[in-house]
A and B are shown apart, each in its own frame.
Chain A
Amino acid sequence: NAGVTQTPKFQVLKTGQSMTLQCAQDMNHNSMYWYRQDPGMGLRLIYYSASEGTTDKGEVPNGYNVSRLNKREFSLRLESAAPSQTSVYFCASSENKMYEQYFGPGTRLTVT
Protein backbone atom coordinates (compact mmCIF):
# COMPACT_ATOMS: atom_id res chain seq x y z
CA ASN A 1 0.00 0.00 0.00
CA ALA A 2 2.01 2.98 -1.29
CA GLY A 3 -0.55 5.66 -0.31
CA VAL A 4 -0.16 8.77 -2.46
CA THR A 5 2.72 8.86 -4.93
CA GLN A 6 3.93 11.80 -6.99
CA THR A 7 6.34 12.12 -9.87
CA PRO A 8 8.74 13.71 -10.42
CA LYS A 9 10.30 14.64 -7.06
CA PHE A 10 12.23 17.55 -8.53
CA GLN A 11 11.94 19.51 -11.77
CA VAL A 12 13.57 22.59 -13.25
CA LEU A 13 11.79 24.31 -16.12
CA LYS A 14 12.54 27.35 -18.24
CA THR A 15 9.89 30.06 -18.51
CA GLY A 16 7.33 29.07 -21.13
CA GLN A 17 7.95 25.32 -20.96
CA SER A 18 5.13 22.95 -20.15
CA MET A 19 4.98 19.91 -17.93
CA THR A 20 2.61 17.56 -16.16
CA LEU A 21 2.89 16.51 -12.55
CA GLN A 22 1.55 13.05 -11.90
CA CYS A 23 -0.26 11.82 -8.81
CA ALA A 24 -1.72 8.43 -7.97
CA GLN A 25 -3.37 6.94 -4.88
CA ASP A 26 -4.10 3.33 -4.07
CA MET A 27 -6.55 3.86 -1.21
CA ASN A 28 -9.69 3.91 -3.36
CA HIS A 29 -10.34 7.50 -2.30
CA ASN A 30 -12.99 9.54 -4.03
CA SER A 31 -11.47 13.00 -3.61
CA MET A 32 -8.09 14.25 -4.79
CA TYR A 33 -6.37 17.62 -4.47
CA TRP A 34 -3.46 19.66 -5.72
CA TYR A 35 -1.85 22.22 -3.41
CA ARG A 36 1.13 24.48 -3.66
CA GLN A 37 3.26 25.34 -0.67
CA ASP A 38 5.18 28.59 -0.53
CA PRO A 39 7.25 29.87 2.41
CA GLY A 40 5.15 31.62 5.03
CA MET A 41 1.92 30.97 3.14
CA GLY A 42 0.92 27.47 4.11
CA LEU A 43 -0.85 25.31 1.58
CA ARG A 44 -3.07 26.82 -1.08
CA LEU A 45 -5.51 24.72 -3.02
CA ILE A 46 -5.04 24.84 -6.79
CA TYR A 47 -7.67 22.38 -7.99
CA TYR A 48 -9.56 19.47 -6.55
CA SER A 49 -11.64 16.59 -7.74
CA ALA A 50 -14.43 15.62 -5.39
CA SER A 51 -15.09 12.42 -7.30
CA GLU A 52 -14.07 10.67 -10.50
CA GLY A 53 -15.16 12.71 -13.50
CA THR A 54 -15.36 16.06 -11.71
CA THR A 55 -12.84 18.83 -11.17
CA ASP A 56 -13.19 22.24 -9.54
CA LYS A 57 -11.05 25.30 -9.06
CA GLY A 58 -9.50 26.02 -5.73
CA GLU A 59 -8.00 29.21 -4.40
CA VAL A 60 -5.19 29.67 -6.97
CA PRO A 61 -6.11 27.91 -10.26
CA ASN A 62 -4.69 30.40 -12.76
CA GLY A 63 -1.94 28.96 -14.95
CA TYR A 64 -2.87 25.35 -14.19
CA ASN A 65 -5.10 22.63 -15.58
CA VAL A 66 -5.98 19.25 -14.14
CA SER A 67 -7.23 15.90 -15.34
CA ARG A 68 -8.86 13.24 -13.21
CA LEU A 69 -7.82 10.39 -15.44
CA ASN A 70 -9.55 7.71 -13.38
CA LYS A 71 -10.26 7.14 -9.71
CA ARG A 72 -6.57 6.59 -8.93
CA GLU A 73 -4.88 9.35 -10.90
CA PHE A 74 -5.06 13.14 -10.83
CA SER A 75 -2.57 15.12 -12.89
CA LEU A 76 -1.64 18.80 -12.80
CA ARG A 77 -0.47 20.54 -15.96
CA LEU A 78 1.44 23.77 -16.37
CA GLU A 79 0.97 24.86 -19.98
CA SER A 80 3.44 27.75 -19.95
CA ALA A 81 5.51 27.83 -16.78
CA ALA A 82 6.28 31.15 -15.09
CA PRO A 83 8.78 31.95 -12.30
CA SER A 84 5.81 32.65 -9.99
CA GLN A 85 4.99 28.95 -10.22
CA THR A 86 8.23 28.01 -8.48
CA SER A 87 6.92 26.12 -5.47
CA VAL A 88 6.51 22.75 -3.83
CA TYR A 89 3.44 20.94 -5.13
CA PHE A 90 1.55 18.42 -3.05
CA CYS A 91 -1.09 16.02 -4.15
CA ALA A 92 -3.52 14.67 -1.55
CA SER A 93 -6.48 12.35 -1.43
CA SER A 94 -9.32 11.68 0.96
CA GLU A 95 -12.23 9.32 1.22
CA ASN A 96 -14.57 12.25 0.76
CA LYS A 97 -14.15 15.99 0.92
CA MET A 98 -14.62 16.44 4.64
CA TYR A 99 -12.36 13.65 5.80
CA GLU A 100 -8.66 13.41 6.59
CA GLN A 101 -6.39 14.07 3.64
CA TYR A 102 -3.38 11.91 2.88
CA PHE A 103 -0.48 13.69 1.24
CA GLY A 104 2.14 12.66 -1.26
CA PRO A 105 5.83 13.49 -0.74
CA GLY A 106 5.71 16.59 -2.96
CA THR A 107 7.30 17.83 -6.18
CA ARG A 108 9.79 20.67 -5.90
CA LEU A 109 9.47 22.78 -9.06
CA THR A 110 11.79 25.61 -10.03
CA VAL A 111 11.02 27.83 -13.01
CA THR A 112 13.90 29.96 -14.23
Chain B
Amino acid sequence: GEDVEQSLFLSVREGDSSVINCTYTDSSSTYLYWYKQEPGAGLQLLTYIFSNMDMKQDQRLTVLLNKKDKHLSLRIADTQTGDSAIYFCAESIANNDMRFGAGTRLTVKP
Protein backbone atom coordinates (compact mmCIF):
# COMPACT_ATOMS: atom_id res chain seq x y z
CA GLY B 1 0.00 0.00 0.00
CA GLU B 2 0.93 3.66 -0.09
CA ASP B 3 0.36 4.50 3.55
CA VAL B 4 2.76 4.48 6.46
CA GLU B 5 0.87 2.35 8.96
CA GLN B 6 0.87 2.47 12.73
CA SER B 7 -1.47 1.27 15.43
CA LEU B 8 -3.49 4.19 16.74
CA PHE B 9 -3.27 3.44 20.46
CA LEU B 10 -0.92 1.87 22.99
CA SER B 11 -1.31 1.78 26.75
CA VAL B 12 1.42 0.69 29.18
CA ARG B 13 2.15 0.91 32.89
CA GLU B 14 4.80 3.24 34.22
CA GLY B 15 8.16 1.46 34.34
CA ASP B 16 7.29 -1.02 31.59
CA SER B 17 8.78 -0.92 28.10
CA SER B 18 6.72 0.46 25.22
CA VAL B 19 7.10 -0.77 21.67
CA ILE B 20 5.56 1.25 18.88
CA ASN B 21 5.53 -0.37 15.46
CA CYS B 22 5.39 1.08 11.98
CA THR B 23 5.26 -0.32 8.47
CA TYR B 24 6.56 2.01 5.79
CA THR B 25 6.15 2.01 2.05
CA ASP B 26 9.27 2.90 0.11
CA SER B 27 12.11 0.40 0.13
CA SER B 28 14.44 3.14 -1.11
CA SER B 29 13.73 5.47 1.83
CA THR B 30 16.98 7.00 2.98
CA TYR B 31 15.99 8.05 6.47
CA LEU B 32 13.27 6.88 8.81
CA TYR B 33 12.16 9.06 11.66
CA TRP B 34 10.28 9.00 14.92
CA TYR B 35 8.60 12.22 15.98
CA LYS B 36 6.84 12.94 19.29
CA GLN B 37 3.87 15.27 19.63
CA GLU B 38 2.81 16.41 23.08
CA PRO B 39 -0.69 17.85 23.63
CA GLY B 40 -1.18 21.22 21.97
CA ALA B 41 2.31 21.27 20.47
CA GLY B 42 4.01 20.62 17.17
CA LEU B 43 6.06 17.56 16.34
CA GLN B 44 9.56 17.16 17.69
CA LEU B 45 12.11 14.81 16.23
CA LEU B 46 12.93 12.06 18.72
CA THR B 47 15.35 10.02 16.73
CA TYR B 48 16.07 8.82 13.22
CA ILE B 49 17.83 5.92 11.57
CA PHE B 50 19.68 5.77 8.30
CA SER B 51 18.52 3.01 6.02
CA ASN B 52 21.83 1.13 6.09
CA MET B 53 21.51 0.57 9.85
CA ASP B 54 19.59 -2.18 11.64
CA MET B 55 19.49 -0.63 15.07
CA LYS B 56 20.11 2.64 16.83
CA GLN B 57 20.15 3.20 20.58
CA ASP B 58 19.86 6.56 22.25
CA GLN B 59 19.48 6.44 26.04
CA ARG B 60 16.01 4.93 26.70
CA LEU B 61 15.15 4.76 23.01
CA THR B 62 15.95 1.85 20.71
CA VAL B 63 15.03 1.93 17.03
CA LEU B 64 14.97 -1.31 15.07
CA LEU B 65 14.79 -1.41 11.29
CA ASN B 66 13.88 -4.46 9.22
CA LYS B 67 14.34 -3.39 5.62
CA LYS B 68 13.17 -6.69 4.18
CA ASP B 69 9.77 -6.33 5.84
CA LYS B 70 9.81 -2.49 5.73
CA HIS B 71 9.18 -2.50 9.46
CA LEU B 72 10.37 0.10 11.93
CA SER B 73 9.92 0.00 15.68
CA LEU B 74 10.58 2.34 18.58
CA ARG B 75 11.19 0.88 22.02
CA ILE B 76 11.03 3.14 25.05
CA ALA B 77 12.57 1.55 28.13
CA ASP B 78 11.30 2.37 31.63
CA THR B 79 8.35 4.33 30.25
CA GLN B 80 7.39 7.38 32.30
CA THR B 81 4.17 9.39 32.47
CA GLY B 82 6.02 12.18 30.65
CA ASP B 83 6.34 9.86 27.66
CA SER B 84 2.58 10.03 27.11
CA ALA B 85 2.19 11.60 23.67
CA ILE B 86 1.49 10.77 20.05
CA TYR B 87 4.40 9.16 18.22
CA PHE B 88 4.69 9.51 14.46
CA CYS B 89 6.73 7.33 12.18
CA ALA B 90 7.91 9.04 8.98
CA GLU B 91 9.93 8.06 5.95
CA SER B 92 11.83 10.11 3.42
CA ILE B 93 10.49 9.04 0.05
CA ALA B 94 11.97 9.04 -3.41
CA ASN B 95 11.76 12.77 -4.12
CA ASN B 96 12.95 13.64 -0.60
CA ASP B 97 9.45 14.44 0.60
CA MET B 98 8.40 13.00 3.92
CA ARG B 99 5.48 10.65 4.46
CA PHE B 100 3.99 10.40 7.95
CA GLY B 101 2.00 7.71 9.63
CA ALA B 102 -1.25 8.53 11.42
CA GLY B 103 0.46 8.47 14.82
CA THR B 104 0.27 6.15 17.83
CA ARG B 105 -1.18 7.63 20.99
CA LEU B 106 0.84 6.28 23.92
CA THR B 107 -0.85 6.41 27.32
CA VAL B 108 1.27 5.66 30.37
CA LYS B 109 -0.67 4.65 33.47
CA PRO B 110 0.83 5.16 36.93
Residue of B nearest to A101 (CB): B98
- Residues of chain A contacted by B4 (CB below 8 angstroms): 42
Counting contact residues on chain A (CB < 8 A from B), the size range is: 20 to 34
Q: How far is the CA of A105 from the CA of B44 in the complex (A)?
A: 10
Q: How far is the CA of A102 from the CA of B43 in the complex (A)?
A: 7
B43 close to A98 (CB less than 8 A): no
B97 close to A45 (CB less than 8 A): yes
User: Using a CB-CB cutoff of 8 Å, which residues 70-109 of chain B contact chain A?
Assistant: 88, 92, 95-98, 100-103
Number of contacting residues on B, CB 8 A?
Answer: 23
B33 at the interface (CB under 8 A from A): yes
A2 at the interface (CB under 8 A from B): no
A42 close to B45 (CB less than 8 A): no
- Residues of chain A contacted by B101 (CB below 8 angstroms): 42
Q: How far is the CA of A57 from the CA of B4 in the complex (A)?
A: 20
Please give me the 8 A-B residue pairs with the lowest Cβ-Cβ distance, nearest first. Answer: A103-B42, A97-B96, A42-B102, A98-B96, A43-B100, A42-B100, A103-B43, A100-B45
Question: Contact residues of B with A, CB < 8 Å?
Answer: 4, 8, 30-31, 33, 35, 40-45, 48, 88, 92, 95-98, 100-103
Pairs across A and B, CB under 8 Å, 6 listed: A42-B4, A43-B88, A45-B97, A101-B98, A103-B35, A103-B44
